[in-house]
Amino acid sequence: MKGQATVVKNAGSHFLLSRLPEWAPFPAVLKGKIRLSGSESTNPVAVGDRVLYEFSEEPSLTHPASIVEVSDRDNYLIRKSANLSRQSHVIAANLDRAFIVVTLFFPEIKLPFLDRILLTCEVYGIPATIVLNKVDIFRKEFPEELSDFHRIYESAGYQVIDTSALTGEGIDTLRTAIGGPDSSRVCLFTGESGVGKSSIIKALDPSLSPKVGDISLAHLQGKHTTSLYEMYPLSSGGFIIDSPGLRGFGLVDLKKEEIALYFPEMMREMKDCRFTPCTHTHEPGCAVKLAVEQGRISQERYNSYLGMLEEDKKFRA
């Protein structure tokens, strides 16, 4: 028997599949070596991938389905696996939206880290929304920092949803952004460790548990598997992908002269630069630098851009 399904859990070499929008996960393994053409990714199959599978025997946990082909992706979120590494890691594929969960403090936000994720979403055509968690604390203790954060990213063109998993603030807004009862949208939740991503997911749907459906992969996965990528159905509609906390985010396959094209606020200004091409660093008559001076582009985002230019030099050294 053959069919098409979506990967809803990745446990290293073992997977769970479901024929979305139906939610009935079943186990699967890779058949032979599957590699995406031209890809140096460490994981040829990611959560959200649409795959072709087949059963060679009666399906069971000991004889699961075999993934035989990965269908072309609409989009995907990817990062370098390690600093200066040529290999990359696909976080998730075929996304309708990415929700990037951050906090101002506890842990302290690293704006260049957030900007790298946002830029990668722009590169691969994934709409991105910033979810600022723990605002019940920041509104009382750090009101100026909270206002500054909104200024930086809303002026760049990104929606920022203030949330508190503790008080429930913003959870309804977030649930609506994911989709209604008939939605089959697939949305990624990602961010650094400690930002409260899991707490937000539980606030969105208290019925969710760490397991997908009633099937456990405990006996299938290797004992060295420490990070799982997993999709959940929301009772309010739509599907969300939970990912392990990220510690770094290196850019993949992006030329230095292309970086500015994926800063929406810089794109709005660069048409008025005196010279083309313009690196927006030292050229006279640069409209981007003028916009920074006049406050239309935040200094923080511009600093992230300069940091990415320097990072590009390291990766190409």
Distance of CA 223 to the CA centre of its chain: 26
Please tell me the distance from the alpha carbon of residue 296 to that of residue 152, in angstroms, as a whole number. Answer: 10
- If you ran DSSP here, which 8-state letter would residue 151 be given? H
Q: List the single range of 30-34, 183-187, 213-217, 295-299 with lowest mean pLDDT.
A: 213-217
Q: List the single range of 49-63, 251-265, 280-294 with lowest mean pLDDT.
A: 49-63
Predicted local confidence at residue 42, as pLDDT = 73
User: Could you tell me what percent of the chain has a pLDDT over 70?
Assistant: 84
Band the pLDDT of 219: cuts 50, 70, 90: very low
Answer yes or no: are the C-beta atoms of 188 and 77 closer than 8 Å: yes
Distance of CA 196 to the CA centre of its chain: 15
| The one-letter amino acid at 205 | D
Is residue 39 predicted with pLDDT exceeding 60? no
CATH 1.20.1630.10 fits 76-242, yes or no: no
Band the pLDDT of 222: cuts 50, 70, 90: very low
Cis-peptide into 127, omega within 30 deg: no
Q: What share of the chain is helix, strand, coil (3-state, %, to 5)?
A: 30, 25, 50
User: Could you tell me what percent of the chain has a pLDDT over 90?
Assistant: 66
305, two tokens: 């851009």
Of 74, 25, 73, 77, nearest to 233 (Cα)? 25
Which pTM was predicted? 0.87
Of 17, 125, 11, 23, nearest to 69 (Cα)? 17
Distance of CA 212 to the CA centre of its chain: 20
Mean pLDDT along residues 236-245: 90
Bridge partners of 92, per DSSP, are: 77
Candidates 3.60.21.10, 3.40.1010.20, 3.10.150.10, 1.10.40.50; CATH matching 256-315: 1.10.40.50
Please tell me the distance from the alpha carbon of residue 307 to that of residue 194, in angstroms, as a whole number. Answer: 25
Architecture of domain 2-70: Beta Barrel (2.40)
Please tell me the distance from the alpha carbon of residue 162 to that of residue 294, in angstroms, as a whole number. Answer: 27
Predicted local confidence at residue 154, as pLDDT = 97
Mean pLDDT along residues 245-250: 76
Pairing, β 26-30 against β 65-70: parallel
Give CA separation, 113 vs 92, 209, 214, in Å. Answer: 18, 29, 36
State pLDDT tens for residues 181-191: 778 999 999 99
Mean pLDDT along residues 225-247: 82
Of 58, 62, 178, nearest to 129 (Cα)? 178
Predicted local confidence at residue 98, as pLDDT = 97
Domain segments of the chain: what residues? 2-70, 76-242, 256-315
Please tell me the distance from the alpha carbon of residue 231 to that of residue 211, in angstroms, as a whole number. Answer: 10
State pLDDT tens for residues 142-175: 999 999 999 999 999 999 999 999 999 999 999 9
Give DSSP secondary structure letters for 75-139: -EEEEESSTT-S-EEEEEES-SEEEEEE-STTTTP-HHHHHHHHHHHHHTT--EEEEE--HHHHH
Is residue 57 predicted with pLDDT exceeding 70? no
Please tell me the distance from the alpha carbon of residue 246 to that of residue 190, in angstroms, as a whole number. Answer: 8
Which are the contacts of 201, defined by CB distance < 8 A and separation ≥ 6? 189, 208, 232, 240, 242
Answer yes or no: are the C-beta atoms of 105 and 198 closer than 8 Å: no
Answer yes or no: are the C-beta atoms of 47 and 231 closer than 8 Å: yes
